């Protein structure tokens, strides 16, 4: 084995009395032929095998209970924190889903039809039936919802997923919260009609002009909450509880516990709910058994999650280990203490430095430089460690530079591959991929989607009159109008030349016609200038809806294209909805 005699690093010679003392001790060990780490470990193992056990038995008897209590309390707090995170995520997901459902055209448009001053009787009945069917379909797809209801501004139930209205209690300020776009959360209660514990959640329903129409309410069951509580193992006697503000038990992780909503948890008796939101404590449980428990509260609803475990289970192993260690180690401490300490200095300190250095490297700190003070394998290992860290430092810097460059290039390539360079809209290839995906999704879920084919009227004349640069500016302007007029989930693309195409998911033939009219009117009223002249620009639009006008992307585009040519033949500056007899049989001048 090669011996290392270097006692300085790249930062200069080592200084300080501690390093000099360690160097002197290393020289003595060299004279005793104890340079080899194998020999040191052999001598140390013969002299100091029993010291750790004896030391641990002493400290174990003093601090074991306190340590275990703190450890178990921390584990319980971690369990409650994890459960609260999952409960909070569950609640946010349900709120988000409710907002998505309430923003659906099926909900807002049908509710608006039922609340009009003088609706046609057939139209109102159809709207109510479609509203009930939509709620029923949503309820069948999501197991967390026991019942979905649409409620108008007078707190009257308009539609329900169950066919009959059960007991429903909204907070007194529900209209104020709904108009402020704040989710409405009720208290947990037992629904006698459903025979389950539920919680009411509601979100506002607004028309396209942002008028308040009512709320979409749902009764959520506690099935997922019970599954969350059951996912946190706490030994044989562990238990998780979900409690209300006043301590009433809402859900438990084991069926042997008391029935929910019938008792209050003992934690709230020993630790009132008005105190800290995070706490741990020892108390007797429902059966009078001493347990250790921890409580965390969910700020959104004021609920609390309690995790507890029996003290007897916690301390059982401690007593056995303490007895065994004391029996084995009692007579050995004084005999080998001093020798183990002297030898340990030459092994433990360098290894501690290596361990601490390795820990820093593991956390990403590569500015570590350890002193080399030993002539043994540890010294050689320290030198190799320093060299390794230096190489890692250089490699990380080089890799970071490469990764940054690759990330920037990938972003640029991704953007170029899906967008039109002139208008900034999607290109035709990406649009066709998005349309195929949306049509497949619409078939699977039996949802509508629509396509608009848009052409700028007399664009060739405008281009010939003002030049290609003005024509490009006009295309950019029209593209900007599309971006401002459409939803974030819609797809607008340049189809070719002065033609554009738009995909509207979840929009049927009636909705797409209204959107197309709004865009046409926006373009018609937009002031477009070129060479100090204000020019009136109009567009013609052909619209088609899935599945009425086509059950695949090709037929859907063909129907919209036929409607577009019909709009141009009919005088331009108009929107035409596709029908079976609208075919692009006549070429119309641009």
- What is the three-class DSSP state of 76? helix
Peptide bond preceding 547 in cis form (omega within 30 of 0): yes
Q: How many domains does the chain have?
A: 2
C-alpha 294/C-alpha 79 separation (Å) is: 9
Asked, for residue 41, whether it belongs to a domain, the answer is no
Rounded to a whole number of angstroms, the distance between the first and last alpha carbons of the chain is: 89
Task: Judge whether 23 lies within some domain.
Answer: no
Question: Does residue 552 form part of some domain?
Answer: yes
Where is the domain boundary, 288, 303, 331? Answer: 331
Check whether the bond before 450 is cis (ω within 30° of 0): no
d(CA 456, CA 535) in angstroms, rounded, equals 13
**Distance from C-alpha of 150 to C-alpha of 161, rounded to nearest angstrom:** 9
Each residue's pLDDT tens digit in the chain (590 positions)?
344 434 444 444 444 565 677 677 777 767 776 665 556 655 666 666 666 665 666 666 666 677 777 888 888 888 888 888 888 898 899 889 989 988 888 888 888 888 775 556 667 888 888 888 898 998 888 888 988 989 888 888 888 888 776 667 778 888 888 888 888 888 888 877 778 888 889 999 988 888 888 899 998 988 888 888 888 777 788 888 888 887 888 888 876 667 787 788 777 655 554 445 567 778 888 788 888 888 888 776 778 888 888 888 877 767 676 677 667 766 665 565 566 556 656 666 777 777 788 887 788 777 777 787 766 777 777 778 788 878 887 887 788 788 888 888 888 777 777 888 888 899 999 999 999 999 999 999 999 999 999 999 989 988 888 888 988 988 999 999 998 999 999 999 999 888 999 999 999 988 999 999 999 999 988 766 555 466 788 999 999 999 999 999 999 999 999 999 999 999 999 999 998 554 444 344 44
Q: Are residues 102 and 245 in the same domain?
A: yes
Kindly state whether residue 298 falls inside one of the protein's structural domains: yes
Residue in the block written with tokens 């020798």? 339
Q: Which of 331, 354, 385 delimits the end of a domain?
A: 331
Q: Which of 348, 356, 403, 420 is nearest to 378 (CA)?
A: 348
Whether 305 and 433 share a structural domain? no
Q: Which two tokens stand for residue 430?
A: 């990406």
Q: What is the CATH number of the domain that holds 498?
A: 3.30.70.270
- For residue 32 the two structure tokens come to 């005793």
Owning domain of residue 183: 51-331
Q: How many helices (H) and strands (E) does the chain have?
A: 16, 20
- Alpha-carbon distance of 61 to 58, in angstroms, equals 5
* CATH code of residue 205: 3.30.450.20
Hey, what are 433's tokens? Answer: 């991929």
For residue 415, being part of any structural domain is answered with no
Find the helix or strand (DSSP H, E) in which 309 lies. strand 304-310
Do residues 549 and 439 share a domain? yes
* Residue 93 forms part of a structural domain: yes
- In angstroms, rounded to a whole number, what is the distance separating the alpha carbons of residues 225 and 228? 5
331, 360, 391 - which closes a domain? 331
| Residue 412 domain flag | no
pLDDT at 1: 39
Residue 261's pLDDT is what?
Answer: 72
CA distance 396 to 403: 10
Closest CA to 389 of 365, 366, 412: 366
pTM to 2 decimal places = 0.46
Closest CA to 284 of 305, 311, 257: 311
* Same-domain status, 68 and 208: yes
For residues 183 and 294, membership in a common domain is answered with: yes
In a domain, 545, yes or no: yes
Nearest to 559 by CA among 440, 449, 456: 449
């Amino acid at each position: 084995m090669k011996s290392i005699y270097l006692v300085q690093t790249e930062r200069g010679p080592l200084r300080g009395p501690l390093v000099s003392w360690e160097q002197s001790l290393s020289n003595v060990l060299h004279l005793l032929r104890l340079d080899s780490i194998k020999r040191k470990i052999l001598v140390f193992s013969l002299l100091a095998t029993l010291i750790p056990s004896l030391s641990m038995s002493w400290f174990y008897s003093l601090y074991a209970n306190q340590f275990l209590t703190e450890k178990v309390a921390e584990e319980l707090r971690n369990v409650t924190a994890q459960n609260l995170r999952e409960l909070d995520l569950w609640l946010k997901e349900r709120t988000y889903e409710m907002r998505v459902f309430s923003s659906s055209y099926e909900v807002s448009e049908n509710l608006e039809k039922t609340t009009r001053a003088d609706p046609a009787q057939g139209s109102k009945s159809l709207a109510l039936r479609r509203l009930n069917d939509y709620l029923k379909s949503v309820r069948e797809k999501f197991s967390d919802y026991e019942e979905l209801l649409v409620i108008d501004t007078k707190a009257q139930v308009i539609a329900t997923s169950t066919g009959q209205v059960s007991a429903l209690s909204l907070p007194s300020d529900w209209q104020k919260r709904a108009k402020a776009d704040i989710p409405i959360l009720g208290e947990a209660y037992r629904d006698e009609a459903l025979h389950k514990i539920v919680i009411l959640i509601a979100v506002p329903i607004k028309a396209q002009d942002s008028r308040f129409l009512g709320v979409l309410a749902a009764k959520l069951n506690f099935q997922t909450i019970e599954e969350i509580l059951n996912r946190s193992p706490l030994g044989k006697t562990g238990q998780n509880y979900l409690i209300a503000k006043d301590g009433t038990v809402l859900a438990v992780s084991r069926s042997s516990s008391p029935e929910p909503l019938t008792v209050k948890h003992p934690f709230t008796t020993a630790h009132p709910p008005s105190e800290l939101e995070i706490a741990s404590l020892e108390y007797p449980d429902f059966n009078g058994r001493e347990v250790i428990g921890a409580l965390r509260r969910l700020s959104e609803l004021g609920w609390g999650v309690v995790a507890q475990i029996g003290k007897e289970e916690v301390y059982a192993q401690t007593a056995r280990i303490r007895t065994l260690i004391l029996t084995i180690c009692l007579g050995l401490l004084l005999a080998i203490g001093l020798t183990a300490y002297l030898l340990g200095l030459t092994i433990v300190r360098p290894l501690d430095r290596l361990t601490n250095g390795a820990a820093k490297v593991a956390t990403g700190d590569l500015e570590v430089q350890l002193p080399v003070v030993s002539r043994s394998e540890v010294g050689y290992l320290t030198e190799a460690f320093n060299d390794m860290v230096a190489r890692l430092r250089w490699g990380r810097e080089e890799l970071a530079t490469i990764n940054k460059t690759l990330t920037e290039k990938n972003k640029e390539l991704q953007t170029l591959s899906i967008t039109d360079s002139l208008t900034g809209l999607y290109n035709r290839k990406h649009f066709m991929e998005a349309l195929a995906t949306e049509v497949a999704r619409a078939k699977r879920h039996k949802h509508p989607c629509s396509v608009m084919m848009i052409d700028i009227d007399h664009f060739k004349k405008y281009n010939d009159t003002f030049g290609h640069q003005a024509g490009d500016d006009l295309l950019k302007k029209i593209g900007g109008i599309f971006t401002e007029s459409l939803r974030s989930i819609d797809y607008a693309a340049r189809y070719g030349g002065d033609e554009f195409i738009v995909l509207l998911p979840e929009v049927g033939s009636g909705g797409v016609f209204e959107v197309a009219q709004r865009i046409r009117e926006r373009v018609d009223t937009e002031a477009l200038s070129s060479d100090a002249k204000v020019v009136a620009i109009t567009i013609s639009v052909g619209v088609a809806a899935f599945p009425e006008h086509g059950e695949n992307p090709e037929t859907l585009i063909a129907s919209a294209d036929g409607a577009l040519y019909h709009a141009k033949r009919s005088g331009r500056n108009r929107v035409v909805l596709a029908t079976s007899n609208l075919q692009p049989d006549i070429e119309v001048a641009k």
